[in-house]
Amino acid sequence: MIDSQSVKWGNHRSLNGFDGNKKVKGIKRHIVVDKNGFLLSIMVTVANVYDGKAVELFMRTLSYFLCPVKVILADGGYRRDIIEAVKKKNGILLRSSCVRTK
């Protein structure tokens, strides 16, 4: 599973972004866990980084370190164009809760 969380962060000197959807100034934590909830990978960005941009780097990292990953479950932040790009570039099926399959 893959997901992200925007959180308020630190002082005025540190790097911060603004997540317009959540109305949070700070950072965004992106995580991937396996079916048992064990952490596979984590990435921290400024809050204004869109999930679709972060997933590109994530997939390269996962394909480099964890070859057996074939299917990743995601929330609605990962749209149809992102799903197609991940499948085409990495061969990993990204299943989003907002996309219905027949």
Residue 36: CATH number of its domain: 3.30.420
pLDDT band at 12 (very low <50, low <70, confident <90, very high): low
Supply the range of the domain harboring residue 11.
2-96
Whether residue 90 is contained in a domain is answered as yes
pLDDT band at 52 (very low <50, low <70, confident <90, very high): confident
Whether residue 32 is contained in a domain is answered as yes
Whether residue 102 is contained in a domain is answered as no
- Helix-helix angle 80-90:51-65, to 10 degrees: 20
**pTM for the structure as a whole:** 0.73
Whether residue 101 is contained in a domain is answered as no
CB 67, CB 91: distance < 8 Å: no
Instruction: Tell me how many domains the chain contains.
Output: 1
Task: Count Cβ atoms below 10 Å from residue 56 Cβ, excluding itself.
Answer: 14
Whether residue 71 is contained in a domain is answered as yes
Buried b (16+ CB within 10 A) or exposed e, 22-51: eebbbbbbbbbbeeeeeebbebebbbbbeb
pLDDT of residue 102: 46
